[in-house]
Structure 1
């Protein structure tokens, strides 16, 4: 394991804290091109694994493409355009919100949150994935009850897809915040899987996922969210953020990256992700506010986050 990367919080010229993390970049052939920190130990990728889960669903008979498939891969903000489409996905499968196993939650979008009458399952950020899981069960003739159980045929099919895409065995199975199974593998496996999505043959299940997400970035996240912004800004980029400070991306040629901050603090992800893209020669000039987010004091800027890292 090499020295970790640091995202420093600089307030009034003084470094008050730093987020330690790890970064891996894989080449189009899946070999490690750059690594710093721990990129081989298993970790839970959280929502960064949604594109992999979607591949398992397509392998099992899910017929989604385009917008619905993008939402199945997303962690949406609960804006009206998100929740209305999730409701339509459920209705098309002959189901309603009561079939969702994800917990009720308020929208992530602040405007939508203030307009909400209360927390709902459909406004939970993972409801698109859960609606797709239910639709997959209907298509495959599997029971919808208990679809979130690791022993369910759906979750076994998803686990097989994860193993195939990462090139690693699943080290542990946990429960994600949305209630669905969560599989542990390395940052290197996560990066490698994203590279395989963008390099896959047109029309393949893997490429359908990558193409849907890149064509509909707002459905993957929402207004002003990181995934939305970077996919709109960088042509052909595939991106998916996960909770606990995980982020995976792939360029069109299959060069991919994955990062994780040890303390799970999300605020350090954006500057680190943009720094790695810049190191790879990507034009990130339109992402300056993500590259060095402001630190506020009394409502005014008193510092910045900065990445302290000398790329090998």
Structure 2
């Protein structure tokens, strides 16, 4: 069965973005589209699981971290002043400065934040990087473990070994490793295995015992502070504000969802647009939620228009999703 996002120009399909996805629930794999065994890098969709280290190492209690810091550790944030404020406070609680972050620098995702920096004649800093919260969390975990801060991004660092072991135990598979855009390890898993990890995020009491409390608290932080996980108008934030779920976008067409409630109970979802198209990813995610009986209301990703350089509508995108139920 085909699972894809179509791009129309006029009445003709100009491009097809193939989608693979897996749905995991009580008892195992429940449904899939495309190839559920597709091995893909989670990229930033792994952040909720990397944030578990804050609890597994005792860093939250040691440094007095609140839910806002925990939520930012899961974030691919938009670099708004609010995000920068929380990231700076996070580091202050650790007694560290932004120079310790090895994520690099990029302009804020937020158009308003980019324009404000430009108007002020200022350059972006590592605090504006969408992964600054994740990196602050890794520094906190390193301090709590008594591990060196230098090289915290390397695969053989104790924090990264802990993250690798965590994802292996929650997914039930050993992840393949590569280097992410922000220089720390990223993990590749079959979609069905990644969906298992997201199922445990949706239903922590079903997870292996050592991770239950950490999963619960990370999920609560994301639910209570969705604006920190992404930003106003971003898909993660919008979906968490409207529906009982945890949403986490990843680069190059990846998406992870933990559905706390659905007509079929708690579910974990891992989705990959195989050619990495971000716009197609958003369209697929919203269509899939509706297919599963969850209604997010009007969104910018419902049959979005394709516009030319004059701003004229010349086509649209639409998802065609067919699920095979196991």
The TM-score normalised by the length of structure 1 is 0.94
Q: CA deviation at 1:302?
A: 2.5
**Root mean square deviation of aligned Cα:** 1.6
2:228 to 219, 229, 234: 219
1:121-167 CA deviation, whole Å, 9 max, x = no partner? Answer: 11110001001111111222111111001111111111111011111
Q: Secondary structure at the match of 2:20?
A: strand
Contact 2:19–2:34, Cα closer than 8 Å, also in 1:
yes
The number of aligned residues is 306
Q: List runs of 5+ in structure 1 lacking aligned partners.
A: none
Q: CA deviation at 1:61?
A: 2.0
Which residue of the partner structure matches residue 36 of structure 2? 39
Q: CA deviation at 1:119?
A: 3.0
Which residue of the partner structure matches residue 72 of structure 2? 71
Q: List runs of 5+ in structure 2 lacking aligned partners.
A: 206-210
Q: CA deviation at 1:41?
A: 3.2
1:72-111 matched pairs, under 5 angstroms: 72-111=73-112
Contact 1:28–1:256, Cα closer than 8 Å, also in 2:
no
For residues 8 and 148 of structure 2, the distance between their equivalents in structure 1, rounded to whole angstroms, comes to 53
Which residue of the partner structure matches residue 188 of structure 2? 184
1:1-312 matched pairs, under 5 angstroms: 3-29=1-27, 31-63=28-60, 64-116=65-117, 117-170=122-175, 172-201=176-205, 204-234=213-243, 236-252=244-260, 253-287=265-299, 289-297=300-308, 298-312=310-324
For residues 86 and 113 of structure 1, the distance between their equivalents in structure 2, rounded to whole angstroms, comes to 17
Q: CA deviation at 1:203?
A: 7.2
Runs of 4+ in 1 over 3 A off after TM superposition: none
Contact 2:88–2:98, Cα closer than 8 Å, also in 1:
yes
Q: CA deviation at 1:39?
A: 1.7
For residues 297 and 101 of structure 2, the distance between their equivalents in structure 1, rounded to whole angstroms, comes to 41
The TM-score normalised by the length of structure 2 is 0.90
1:248-289 CA deviation, whole Å, 9 max, x = no partner? Answer: 1121142122110111010001111111111111123333x3
For residues 9 and 77 of structure 1, the distance between their equivalents in structure 2, rounded to whole angstroms, comes to 27
Contact 1:270–1:291, Cα closer than 8 Å, also in 2:
no
Q: Secondary structure at the match of 2:126?
A: coil
For residues 299 and 33 of structure 1, the distance between their equivalents in structure 2, rounded to whole angstroms, comes to 42
Q: Secondary structure at the match of 2:294?
A: coil
Contact 1:134–1:144, Cα closer than 8 Å, also in 2:
yes
Q: Secondary structure at the match of 1:163?
A: helix
Contact 1:293–1:305, Cα closer than 8 Å, also in 2:
yes
For residues 111 and 24 of structure 1, the distance between their equivalents in structure 2, rounded to whole angstroms, comes to 36
Contact 2:20–2:272, Cα closer than 8 Å, also in 1:
yes
Q: CA deviation at 1:230?
A: 0.6
